[in-house]
Structure 1
């Protein structure tokens, strides 16, 4: 069976594009949107706390905003801990 050079070149191009590293644009977009959401949650909690101190918001909304902020911070800390744990696991791998 004889392969022409163009068929071999096409197969090489397909294999090369399949093995090319991902640019990470989807991951960057997801990570960026998560960071923006985290920032918005913290900012909302801070604004609600300020409004409550000035008497412009009820205590129930303050408690709700603080609970949302606490959940966001706990989630961020959990993600950070998982990343550190994965990094430490990679460092323990023999080379």
Structure 2
């Protein structure tokens, strides 16, 4: 099989363009867990973990009520923020679906 020049050129151009579309791992700053969304997700998980640990400690009598209230309020705020962010993403996706091509 022979390839014409246009398809060979297109294939070569695609091979060179493809690495530009792949994400590049960026080094995290010193002392930072991660950048972008990965940092947000790890902060979210850490906040929920702290709330769970404070609740466990309060049930066993190892934590004062003030720290429990603080941890639960932080967890509630984190969950509300995540739900709001999810709602915004869903709204944006629905708006894209409504666009005419």
What interval of TM-score do these two structures reach, taking the shorter chain for normalisation?
0.7 to 0.9
User: Secondary structure of 1:51's partner?
Assistant: helix
Q: TM-score, normalised by structure 2?
A: 0.68
Match of 2:11 in 1: none
Moved over 3 A (4+): none
Match of 2:23 in 1: 23
1:24, distance to aligned residue in structure 2 (A): 6.7
Q: Which protein is richer in helix relative to its size?
A: 1
Q: TM-score, normalised by structure 1?
A: 0.72
Match of 2:92 in 1: 86
How many residues are treated as equivalent by the alignment? 77
Structure 2 stretches lacking a partner, 5+ long: 1-16, 27-33
User: Secondary structure of 1:57's partner?
Assistant: coil
Cα distance in 1 for residues equivalent to 2:87 and 2:35: 21
Tell me which of 43, 47, 57 is aligned to 1:51: 57
Cα distance in 2 for residues equivalent to 1:70 and 1:24: 34
Pairing 1:75–2:81 present: yes
Structure 1 stretches lacking a partner, 5+ long: 1-16
